[in-house]
Chain A
């Protein structure tokens, strides 16, 4: 770890008309750190994620990102070209619904290979070899490489989406309810896999989830949101074992013990 954060978030607010999406959110994200954003639906966690990943422009606030050369850049002042380049090289975005993040009508291999081709790789054999390797790392059998995700189960699709995002070696990955639509047993396997990959690659990640178990398993630190505001933040184990805010206490006590 270096002594500088990867992402600096300062006073991000997003209003929809008079309604608050999220209000005055600030934090730092450190290299190799996984931050969970938890809350019920409508708490503003997805709005926050979309602002941070520049998919949505906040009403006010700044987010600066430390580029590979060490310089911080204000995300909202970057040109669209720079932002889009960042999105497909140094960042990943894992959608809750894999079909939002995959091309459902092209093969698994091409889904993984697309980012490589986008950054200029022009050797079919190499692209295919890399795709095969990544399918293996997310536990998809290499003989499925030419199948379309339409023919995949929900869990496989989600793993494919993860491979597609990680193939360019990003430093920061955003995840929106990555285990959202999956069966419990499938969730466990995916979480296991994610935890392994994040650790192995030293990824930083911001994971939005309503599921405290996901936060417990994946994240180092977490923030709890309600009605667009942060009600509590801290190390994940501390927040879950010793919640301070009444809302967090309610949240923790209302679920089965994890």
Chain B
């Protein structure tokens, strides 16, 4: 006869053993090393660091390996680790103007101080599958830049010199920057919190939203003012010292979109900005983020909110892929208690429906008999 489903524990253990086996794959092949992942799948590692919001290539590579290449699972692993780390303090804002630039392009100027620097980009590659790559051909060594480097002021600073673009957002002295990982979000959000949420938001979701603004759903006339990729110092203030300490360097991608703005009651006509900053090399994400950031400033800039990308609650509540995947996937957990309740209700309503129908049929018969 019926025996309650025992042995959940054993089933789970066995499932995890099988998972570990599948993760290893063909045992005749060498296992992939974290170093290989970090150096050869570095953009995957960058995405995991960025959306996992933890800058650690080694751990991110481990997460990619453990997740069998499932990006969102890897991001989740990194997040779950990050959340257990103690918080020592907050760094100074990174100075992207002082970046050691590896790539820098501007769509708004033909040439500019420091020049355009293509760097390691997929742009202008022909997307033809490369059979040589399948056979481990060694690529030629890259050209190294000559040492003499011109300063590379940010395009936004160039525009700002003329007063044509809004200033960098500046916070009042006494305002602590928000931290969405430590404080519950409250809508409407401040822009610092919003940018944090976007920076770790899902690349695909932001990409689609950014794309939607270009197609007219909340259009904001963007120009890619500048995209720069490179390394910046991470500095922290120590109470006893009167100069900041450098903790190390991280690679980031920054995008500044320059957008038209007609001006408002308080502000003269000028360019406004959408801002994107992410860990590692991810132009797509940084650009999508800056489009979304600008769209979400609709309220601040007195623009009509008509499109999904401008709707703060909608965008911020749904951009986190760790939250999204958890809730979508939780549907596979047992729900049979509630389903039982619904089963009972549907049966009851069907009974009532049949009774009404039979009642109506009997009425008709009676009427017909009486006529």
Which residue numbers of A lie inside 8 Å of B, CB to CB? Answer: 15, 17-18
Contacts and interface: CB of A to CB of B under 8 A. Distances in A.
Nearest to A18: B265
Interface of B: 264-265, 302
Which secondary structure dominates where chain A touches chain B?
Answer: loop
Contacts of B264: 17
Contacts of A15: 265
A18 B302 CA distance: 13
Contacts, number: 5
A55 to B, nearest CB: 16
Contacts of B265: 15, 17-18
Contacts of A18: 265
Contacts of A17: 264-265, 302
Nearest to B265: A17
Nearest to A59: B265
A57 to B, nearest CB: 14
5 contacts: A15-B265, A17-B264, A17-B265, A17-B302, A18-B265
A17 B302 CA distance: 9
B364 to A, nearest CB: 19
A15 B265 CA distance: 9
A18 B263 CA distance: 11
A98 B302 CA distance: 28
A18 B265 CA distance: 6
Nearest to A17: B265
A15 B264 CA distance: 11
A15 B302 CA distance: 13
Nearest to B266: A17
Nearest to A19: B265
Contacts of B302: 17
Nearest to B263: A17
Nearest to B267: A17
A135 B251 CA distance: 67
A17 B265 CA distance: 4
A17 B266 CA distance: 8
B315 to A, nearest CB: 25
A110 to B, nearest CB: 19
Nearest to B302: A17
Nearest to A15: B265
A23 to B, nearest CB: 15
A178 B302 CA distance: 29
B305 to A, nearest CB: 15
A18 B264 CA distance: 8
B276 to A, nearest CB: 29
A59 to B, nearest CB: 10
Nearest to B262: A17
A170 B265 CA distance: 38
- For the complex of A and B, the 4 pairs showing the least CB-CB separation, nearest first, are A17-B265, A17-B264, A18-B265, A15-B265
A42 B56 CA distance: 58
A18 B267 CA distance: 11
A253 B264 CA distance: 39
A47 B264 CA distance: 19
A67 B156 CA distance: 55
A255 to B, nearest CB: 33
A101 to B, nearest CB: 21
A190 B265 CA distance: 42
B267 to A, nearest CB: 10
A17 B269 CA distance: 12
A43 B242 CA distance: 61
A213 B259 CA distance: 47
A208 B169 CA distance: 43
B188 to A, nearest CB: 16
B269 to A, nearest CB: 11
